[in-house]
Structure 1
Amino acid sequence: MHATTPGTADRDEPPAIELRGVTKRFTTDKATPYTALRDLDLEVAPGEFCAVVGPTGCGKSTTLTLVSGLERPSTGSVEVHGRRVSGITPGVGFMFQTDAILPWKTVLDNVSAGPRFRGTPKRQALDDARDWIRRVGLNGFEDRYPHQLSGGMRKRVALAQNLITEPRVILMDEPFSALDVQTRAKMSTELLALWDLTRPAVVFVTHDLEEAIALADTVVVLTAGPAATVKARFAIDLPRPRVVQEIRFEPRFVDIYHQIWEALRAEVDLAYAQTTQLSAKESS
């Protein structure tokens, strides 16, 4: 497969994200540390939308925390735009599985909080927040509180929170997994339209292979954990712009799905077998 061109970056520009030989170990209550990732290499170009798939426990979320600087690699290097990550990475947005919006603040205050924290004058921050609230389809809801919004509306607030600061990199950890199927597909299409406005590099973690293909320029498959690493990388040659609700019916989409599933299926089976064996040991 041949990818659509991810962004318009100069060839001499460094990757937006680059992990080289990354191993990540966590201490446990056992004698041996748990190795989540081992010798993982991953590169994401400026403007590229990269989806990461793999079975449960394969280190997908850990990969995001390493890029964000929330965790440090045990060995190997992590760079963002050519600079080694040594702490919380500036210019990186992070959209979590659960909403990271403040329940005691209105939609307007939540969206404007990031720019105001970065020193933007209050009037400018509020004007920018209103603009992004409009872009994510929440015009008229500026004074609502999170508990007054549906799940899909809260996700729109989270998108506006991340995009208002125009990050060069956005990390997304299964952000739509709690939504119903119809709302999830609609949010995915809206995400693509908003991403296209500024074209940041995106790493989107998901368990849903259909979602990954519908969104991404590139799909990366991780092996089953522990000690997960990259198994395969697939370029997605579906044309843009895409409507997620419709692109799944394209014959090319089905072809790509089968190709990636061949790589993913063995890892899912292995992870399931490991879980079953562990459960049997614990119950015996």
Structure 2
Amino acid sequence: MATSRSQESPGGSGTGAIELRNVTKRFRTPDGGAYTALRDLDLTVAPGEFCAVVGPTGCGKSTTLTLVAGLERATEGQVLVDDSPVRGIGSGIGFVFQTDAVLPWKTVLANVAAGPLFRGEARKDALAAARDWLRRVGLSGFENHHPHQLSGGMRKRVALAQSLINEPRILLMDEPFSALDVQTRSIMSDELLALWEVTRPSVVFVTHDLEEAIALADKVVVLTAGPATVKDVFTVDLPRPRTVQEIRFEPRFVELYQQIWESLRDEVQVAYARTATLAK
């Protein structure tokens, strides 16, 4: 059985699909100062690996995703994708945001076909691929609907199809299911795992839900209270394929939850104490 907590540095030696090496990220504040979101962060995600990232609110989880996506640049250190430095928005990376990124004036079919069309695929081929992905996410028959005619869970399915139709090597997900009710979240999590198994992109999944992180991931990375760095890396040695609702009852799931929460709890308390002090 694999160990639950990695004692090795999470930084890599050039073998990961994603590598952050000694990364620090600072932002300018309105008063002309600097705010440090990440400090000396090392993280590796292997090809085809599903990595969940947890940490206190405001610790820099989303910033980590924007660095990998090329939406922001590191102040110090290196961010690499497939051993090449990230210098801007690159191809082969999908990003599923917390809020829906669907275009409200386009139909469901047009939203999903937009990526292939933008890349220059023939319209006939793009629409055929879009219909196939809508079938995979259970939205056949809704091709001509507009986003406002769909439920929240259905819009999330559209967002998944939008990303996965492009066959990304890397899929970045920023709390994509946080706005959904508990039952819909479980359904969407199962659908995500089934779709991920098809093409096996490297996934970095940011979440505040520790149960969600364990149920989905191959490993869970715990970030410290900001400025964030990697505190612990836990291997999730639960068998695949998984059903999210059922895997939660496994004794090993409960054991992992207790171990990871012990690491995460201290950081949540630190972040809360800081917030309480600022509020006085």
TM-score band, normalised by the shorter chain?
over 0.9
Structure 1 match to 2:266: 266
| Aligned-pair CA distance for 1:87 | 0.5
Q: 1:265 to 1:94 in 2, by over 3 A?
A: same
SS in structure 2 at match of 1:20: strand
| Aligned-pair CA distance for 1:15 | 1.0
Structure 2 match to 1:131: 132
The aligned runs of 1:93-104 (5 Å cut-off) are 93-104=94-105
Aligned identity (percent) is 72
Structure 1 match to 2:240: 240
The aligned runs of 1:107-186 (5 Å cut-off) are 107-186=108-187
Structure 1 match to 2:249: 249
Paired AA for residue 208 in structure 2: H
Paired AA for residue 127 in structure 1: A
Q: TM-score, normalised by structure 2?
A: 0.95
Q: 1:32 to 1:13 in 2, by over 3 A?
A: closer
Structure 2 match to 1:16: 17
Structure 2 match to 1:57: 58
Tell me whether 12-21 or 75-84 shows the greater mean CA deviation: 12-21
Tell me whether 154-163 or 22-31 shows the greater mean CA deviation: 22-31
Return the alpha-carbon distance in structure 1 between the equivalents of residues 142 and 28 of structure 2. 45
Task: List per-residue Cα deviations over 1:148-200 (Å, max 9, x = no partner).
Answer: 00000000000000000100000000000000000001100110000000000
What CA RMSD, in Å, does the superposition of the two structures yield over aligned residues?
Answer: 1.3
Structure 2 match to 1:215: 216
Asked if 2 retains the 8 angstrom alpha-carbon contact of 1:18 and 1:42, the reply is: yes
Asked if 2 retains the 8 angstrom alpha-carbon contact of 1:3 and 1:217, the reply is: no
SS in structure 1 at match of 2:121: coil
- Tell me the number of residue pairs that the alignment of Structure 1 and Structure 2 aligns: 272
| Aligned-pair CA distance for 1:279 | 0.6
Segments ≥4 residues shifted beyond 2 Å = 29-32
Return the alpha-carbon distance in structure 2 between the equivalents of residues 140 and 244 of structure 1. 27
Return the alpha-carbon distance in structure 1 between the equivalents of residues 252 and 225 of structure 2. 27
Structure 2 match to 1:43: 44
SS in structure 2 at match of 1:57: coil
Return the alpha-carbon distance in structure 1 between the equivalents of residues 14 and 109 of structure 2. 36
Structure 2, unpaired ranges of 5+:
5-12
Structure 1, unpaired ranges of 5+:
5-11
